[in-house]
Amino acid sequence: MILTLALLAGLVLAWLLIGVVEKFRLGLRFTQALLYVPFKLAYRVSDDRIRIARKAQAPVIYVISHQSRFEPALMLSLLPDDTLHILDEVSARSPWLEPWRELGRTIAFNAEHLFVSRRLVRVLKGKGRLAVYLPDAVEPDIKTFRLFRAVTRIAMQADAKIVPIFVAGARGLPVSLTQADKAPRHWFPQLSISVLEPMTVAELAARNPDQASNTNALFDRVAEARLFGADLDRGLFLAMRDAAARVGASHPIIEDVISGALSYRKMFIGARVLGRRFEAVTAPGEAVGLLLPNANGVVLSFVGLLSGARVAAMINYTAGPASVTAAVRTAVIRTVVSSRAFIEKADLADIVAAVENGGAKLLWLEDVRESVTALDKLAAALLWRWPLQQQDAAKPAVVLFTSGSEGTPKAVVLSHKNLLANAMQAEARITISPADILLNVLPVFHSFGLTGGTILPLVTGVKLFLYPSPLHYKIIPEIARKVKPTVMFGTDTFLANYARTAKDGDFSSLRFVVAGAEAVKPETRRVYRERFQAEIIEGFGLTEAAPVVAVNTAIHGRDGTVGRLLPAMRMKLEPVEGISDAGQLWLDGPNLMMGYMTADRPGELQPLTGWHDTGDIVAVDREGFITIRGRAKRFAKIAGEMVSLGAVEMLVQSLWPEDRHAAVAVPDKRRGERIVLVTTADDANPDELRKFGKQAGAAELMVPNDIIKVEEIPVLGSGKTDYVSTRKLAIDRLGLGVAA
């Protein structure tokens, strides 16, 4: 009995002592500190940033993402005690919350009347504080989004600052408000409180003045709190390992048509075995080429390189021998990992020769597998959770090569932080979960296929099914019927071709399709909506941005646009001569590249400083939706007028929707340049196009007089139109000599 009492007294004393420490460390009231101690001990709460919330000058509104039943208790323990907490009806009545409700002032949430109350504005104007718990929705429905509008209106009327708060890890708690299949439960996950600096609505809107919606500015700020809830300084390997811990090491994470499915554990074991071999022939920080198709092997090799602190240089084997040799030399690649079976099957002997001409040696996966011993496998099985080398998120992780659709490719150097930030930016905008299956047919040497189609699922627990070629138009719909993906990535060209060969049920499992790299045609969007009940959500990106810049969502989307800017990104539009309603897009954000390597300065990182000029001409509406008018280089200057070649293609597509078209500018002695249409439409003729253009209200300058008919328009491996080759073809056909 005495021992029991002594033990209890010891526990109470320890509780009191920890409470005292928390009181002085965070500036809490003693009762707050005492009720916070159980959370602190059980969930190892990372809470340093809560000081930002406590120090915020009133009037202030704390906007809290409500993921679980614990947030109200946590916030009542940590926020200033004069805060008025607006609780949902369950939290306002829960008996277990009673001790925490006594810590501050609370009122019950009434969805019909809460935010029309003038009392809240009066509270704030009296130097008050509000804590508002908004439903945790990446894509809020109309009713939820009205709450964002209401908070915005109250904040503006009271001139209050906004402080978003997101508790990372709370979604996996046993008292989570998310379904268990979408957020696997853990009894004691580590929690981390993400708090952003106080800003007024006007200050939030001023960060991106080209999008004037105050509500969207608040919504984006809340999404930023979610983004920074992820530790972007962890590095990609550790972020993948964290995902394995959340969803379970036995969770199937990658699968291909040959090797079958691998769990997280098996993936990391295989990656460690390969990483050891890569370590033996390369140095830390060295760029190591990957010349592999979309299959489990490329993921294992990629993760193995990350584990060993090597830089994965993704070789575009569809770019042609000259480009491959230039890529190897530009990034100073001495070793390229590949597979003899792949080289033989894809008939890439010329690419192997190009790699060797660039000064690199081939490391064959078949040889690596033969050299692996039972001891290697045992060591990897025991140590799979630990990387081979210390991880540094600020260092390079990947080298990608720009598509070269308008010129010589450059090497883009992306850090771990760039890539992880972009994956988490997408996760903060699009609703995905471990219950999803992602079908990726886009090659990993393309930034969209790497970040969106590979890294994003690996760091979120979404099962990834890899298919080696996007060009297998008849096979991919059959694969989709068997795999039953809920999410798919593609380009308009690929998606349109899949739809032509697909049976009605082939894509019936899809929730949505993310499309990028080129504009989505209305016909493609219509087919997927009507035949497969799947929404195509169009986005926009560039390799230099790792790559996603903007995206529509299933709920917040606008056809004909590429969506809204991702969280934590800023943009500005510079005027362009001859264009009054759009500007040249410049970007800044955590996903922007470290810099370039160029052929004239091989292996030398030329760092990006400040804003990045995308070279794209865009228009932005007041809700922030971005419309791409075209590349700056994709405008023709005809008799002093700027004409968008992209707009020409859209006009032609409306007339001949079943065919493919490319508009290019060629030299013209009289007017500087003229537009040539290269098309697969056999019946295309200039007279019909002029008549259609006149009916559509198109300017006469943008209607091509020259039409060149081809069987196929040249495309790059990424699915984009190869405008360099297309322009050369037009110049040759028209007998204009060497391109200007």
Residue 639 in this model has a pLDDT that exceeds 80? no
| Over residues 586-603, mean pLDDT | 92
Q: How far apart are CA 253 and CA 437, in angstroms?
A: 9
Alpha carbons within 13 A on the beta-carbon side of 707: 20
| Over residues 317-342, mean pLDDT | 92
Backbone angles phi, psi at 629, to 5 degrees: -90, -25
- Among this protein's residues, is 186 annotated catalytic? no
pLDDT at 719: 64
pTM of the prediction?
0.87
8 A C-beta contact, residue 224 and residue 79: no
236-628: what fold?
Answer: Rossmann fold (3.40.50)
8 A C-beta contact, residue 517 and residue 491: yes
Residue 363 in this model has a pLDDT that exceeds 60? yes
Domain range annotation of the chain: 1-41, 44-229, 236-628, 639-734
Residue 630 in this model has a pLDDT that exceeds 80? no
- Choice among 66, 85, 446, 612 that is catalytic: 66
Under the phi-then-psi rule, with left for phi > 0, alpha for psi from -120 to 50, and beta for the rest, what region is 537? beta
Q: What is the mean pLDDT of the chain?
A: 88
Residue 406 in this model has a pLDDT that exceeds 50? no
pLDDT at 600: 86
639-734: what fold?
Answer: GMP Synthetase; Chain A, domain 3 (3.30.300)
| Over residues 336-342, mean pLDDT | 95
Q: Do you find a cis peptide bond into 59, omega within 30 degrees of 0?
A: yes
Q: Which of 47-56, 259-268, 347-356, 611-620 has the lowest mean pLDDT?
A: 611-620
pLDDT at 348: 93
pLDDT at 192: 96
pLDDT at 697: 64
The reply to whether 236-628 and 639-734 are identical in fold is no
The residue among 628, 649, 717 whose CA lies nearest residue 294 is 717
Q: Which of 206-210, 350-354, 487-491, 559-563 has the lowest mean pLDDT?
A: 206-210
pLDDT band at residue 671 under the 50/70/90 scheme: low
Residue 566 in this model has a pLDDT that exceeds 60? yes
